[in-house]
Structure 1
Amino acid sequence: MGGMILPDADWRHREGLDRLVEVLGDARFVGGSVRDTLLGIPVSDLDVATPLSPQRVIELLKAAKIRVVPTGIDHGTVTAVLESGHVEVTTLRRDVSTDGRRATVAFTDDWREDAARRDFTINALYADPATGEIFDYFGGITDLEARHIRFIGDPLQRIAEDHLRILRFFRFLARFGDVADPAALEACTARARDLMALSRERIADELLKLLVTRDAVRVVGMMIERGIFVPVLPEITASDRFAHLAAREAEAELAPSAIRRLASLLPADAAIADGIAARLKLSNVQRRRLVAAVLPPEEAPRPLAYRVGVEAAVDRLLLSDRPIAEALAIRDWQPPRFPLSGGAIVARGIKAGPDVARLMKQIEGGWIAEGFPEEDRVAELADAAVAQALRSTSS
């Protein structure tokens, strides 16, 4: 489709951007920024492609006093640091060899060759910074209008080059697509076992992004049906709890959480969740949250939040059948601190030792049951508990 012009958008007026492309001379916007602008959604990452070599890019930017960091120079990418944020500048490339995990690239000055090594037609759109003219070598604009997610070239070959493209296909389908290209779907299904060759970090990164997309529930259901998870996450066997959670997040007007959504796909078993978190090499924070989220909420909202923390309590309540209002009621609640020290028990005549800890626990339980009353009431609870303990020891 020729003659299409990139619509104006906020990101095109970012400070320093005009100067950057002017200094490069031969450059085009590429990928997500072009795709998302055509879809009318905000652009986060900005990528510029150029036939200039990475060394030449660095020379030109340095001479123009634009800060440049050689972030991925072996793959032809450097990062220009502008007042308004980062812009990735990548030399046009073609694949020389691939092993399903990483590609060896050679630089080229042929825009079409660069487009041909990208994954999906909707990601291989380029725009001239000056005129806004769009260059579309593989029918990406037509696919974007139809919300059709399609590999460039032969899907089996594209998956063989980088196995992560299986998960990327489903993520883009869930984010932008209505129509899955049948050949792509068959190829992803046939090659699902290839995912085993990937690092677990790459799988986790792609999966967590997928889980928060607009159409994640339908697409995850499709992935389960086609056995996509079996090689790497065989524990994921049904998506009904995920659908239940997504509906409740929407009703509560809470932003979807990838870790909470992952919990909805797992059995209610902390040990299994911990094993999966380890397998996916999640961060310690993510791991703790996942393990806490899979368990059922066994008490009232505030006692639960006091015991496990507000975030875990909200996760558990949303994942359950309990009224949504319960999760919302504690979302901004700050659990109080128990206003009693072991010293206060000793001062009341109990000898330091295991009895003190036992009484503390008993008094804290009463305090929680009464809805976290003020210190005066805690003192009364302490007096009563200590008096009872002293009576039972003296009798």
Structure 2
Amino acid sequence: MLRLLLFIESNTSGTGRLFAHTARTLGFEPVLISRQPSRYPYVTEDAVRSIEANTADLTVLRSLVQQLARSKGVAGITSSSEYFIATAARLAAELGLPGPDADAVAACRNKATQRRRLDEAGVDRVRHAEVTEAADAVQAAIGIGLPVVLKPVAGSGSVGVRLCATMAEVAAHARVLLADPTCGALLVEEVVRGDEYSVEIFHDAVIGVTRKHLGALPHFVEMGHDFPAPLASTVADRIAGFALAATRALGLTWGPLHVELRLGEDSPHLMEVNPRLAGGFIPELVRQATGIDLIRATVELAVGRTPEVTPTRQEHAAIRFLTPPDDGLWFATEGLEAARGAPFLRDLRLYRASPLLIARRGDFQDRLGHALTSAPTLEAAVAAAELARCAIRFRVAADGTGTLATVA
């Protein structure tokens, strides 16, 4: 009888499917526990066993997990959704299974708490304030100085994150965010200057540094990534040491971590620590470039095995996301065949199909697809990804007549 590997909810970007597939590859039966399993098409397509349950209720989950442990045997409990990593860790600990410190994960997921703990540890001091009223957000912005960044204290994928250059913008965006009953509180932060990078960490060891490409302000949509980042070894080491100091200060030393920062003229400055694998297909970039399978390593760790995270090759990988040029009706796509002819292309996909009404949000949900490449040099990987991206044209009827536009 196969032992069960339980997944509490899932993400929707593709990693959830890979987690389930990897569990099977390793000889375990994946079981998705979800409030609404139908949200994840791969559950039906891949015949993944699912159990419908209120995943917001720890008591309900505890009873269900204990029942499964008695009847089937549970090898591990984890989640590919950032929102449920702490819940999975708590349940795993109660069964004596491996996992991160649930309290440390929960504290890290609250961006205000994370900032306070990093301040106390002296890792990085970015001026910030936690607020629950729009008027308080304005007062915080006055104290910090414009421009500022507003973001929900809990969230991911740049959802709700916005640069505000005036007090009117601060007040308006704060009102929009606080109107959502799930928001609770906001973080008002000083703007961190410099090029953006992320550090991919696994089990308290740095795997590598990723260079990020952002879309236009006032939003912070990630439009592409390059791995490994083209940095001098001394700079990369400095960034890596800074990221490790942050994660250790937060009590996070187990499993995958994703640290986002900006490199200024003086030193790195932290944007946030995420107690999970990177999103945006960065784990696939790492696999293409180094041979390290971070998804497999995470699953192995969750069932008590010792994963192998030694590089087996030295390549370079890049991804460029495809986004619509305008709001409106996306009714056709051109250039896919030309894009597929790009050299070094490893993956070209659209996440959704036309016709579809587009209303851009300024976060990861604006992405319609991606082109992912790997090559012996970063220059070649980047050039190929850009070539594929530029070949694709979305037809969007912004004014009701249909206009041809190249992806932004």
TM-score class, shorter: under 0.3
Q: Larger helix proportion, structure 1 or 2?
A: 1
Q: Larger strand proportion, structure 1 or 2?
A: 2
TM-score, L = length of structure 1: 0.23
Higher RCO (Cα < 8 Å, 6 or more apart): 2
TM-score, L = length of structure 2: 0.23
Structure with higher Rg: it is: 1
